[in-house]
Amino acid sequence: MNDLALFTKPWKALSLPDLARHILSLGFDMIELPVRPGFQVEPDHIERDLPAAAKLLGEQGVRILNVTADIRLDDERLYSACAEAGIGMNRVMFWQRDLDYWSAEAEARRQLDAALPYCERYDFQIGIQNHSGRFVPVNEMGMRHLVKDYDRRYVAAVWDPAHNALEGMNSDSALDVLAPHLGVVNLKNAYWRRISGPEAKVAEWKIYWTSGAQGRASWPSVIAKLRDIAYRGPICFSAEYSDEERVDELIVKDLAFARALLEA
């Protein structure tokens, strides 16, 4: 059975003890922890607060799968703090900003190259997530192009089928491409919703984040393909929903849906 984790971004206002109790009440015992301004652990205090947070959460029965830290990849504090806390991955996304795609990819490579000495020293992994829109990469082919020359022990793919479905190929093909580089699978779902009427000169669309059964990425297909490629790594639920008032309700239903597919 794959380890199942939950990204705790929606619950930034909870204290760490309350966060632990809430995560357990939702059916999880492993999390992805943001290290960002305004969250339970902030980048400026990562060396002090991340090990303390890991200890406190662990005492409550909650493990940290990985962090997603708002900190430069050449800042050794990230690696030393994670090592002390027993955390082996930082999930990152590379925003394209105002650069063209290839220039943005080159900048991402520069950041990864700067991180490699620390990854080797601390036996640490940078997990790169695909993201729709102006990011590097948006889909599996961009991911493959970015990570193929790196050792998977230090640079791995965090594949997000929802973002991939919004921008790329179907899940079977995507996993054929990424299987050798796969470190974590994110689970959420979405579809493009038309927000302009039929009289508009040009249609306008917006992403709507929905439950696992209702989006463009087929969770049954994703999980069947993960089984086919013998993926035994972690799966992290992003808990991202446009209907933010129903996050707790929807993540419990999505966990049950995914577990039924995994156990089928």
The 10s digit of each residue's pLDDT in 236-262 is 999 999 999 999 999 999 999 999 999
| pLDDT for position 198 | 87
Residue-wise burial string across 31-48, b where 16 or more C-beta atoms lie within 10 A, e elsewhere: bbbbbbeebbbbbeebee
Long-range contacts of 130-133, Cβ-Cβ distance < 8 Å, separation of 24 or more: 130/157, 130/158, 130/159, 130/160, 130/163, 130/164, 130/167, 130/168, 131/93, 131/160, 131/163, 132/163, 132/166, 132/167, 132/207
pLDDT bracket for residue 41 (50, 70, 90): very high
| pLDDT of 142 strictly over 80 | yes
Q: What does DSSP say about strands 94-95 and 125-129: parallel, antiparallel, or unpaired?
A: unpaired
Q: Give the mean model confidence (pLDDT) for residues 116-144.
A: 97
Structure confidence at residue 3 (pLDDT): 96
Residues 217-229: pLDDT tens digits?
Answer: 999 999 999 999 9
**pLDDT score of 180:** 96
Phi then psi for residue 2, to 5 deg, are -70, 145
Report the amino acid identity of residue 111: Q
What is the CATH architecture of 4-263? Alpha-Beta Barrel (3.20)
Average pLDDT for residues 26-49, to the nearest whole number?
98
Mean pLDDT of the chain: 97
pLDDT at 208 over 90: yes
pLDDT of residue 1: 73
CA nearest neighbour of 157 among 126, 188, 114: 126
The two tokens of residue 178 are 């990424």
Q: What is the mean pLDDT of residues 151-157?
A: 98
**pLDDT for residue 164:** 94
* Cα 130 → chain centroid: 9
- What is the predicted pLDDT for the residue at 181? 97
pTM of the model: 0.95
Residue 214: pLDDT above 90? yes
DSSP single-letter state for residue 130: P
pLDDT at 135: 96
Q: How many CB atoms lie within 10 A of CB 115?
A: 24
> Is the backbone of residue 183 left (phi > 0), alpha (psi -120 to 50) or beta?
alpha
Q: What is the pLDDT of residues 80-112, one digit of tens each?
A: 999 999 999 999 999 999 999 999 999 999 999
Task: Cite the DSSP H helix spans in 60-199.
Answer: 76-85, 101-122, 140-147, 161-167, 171-178
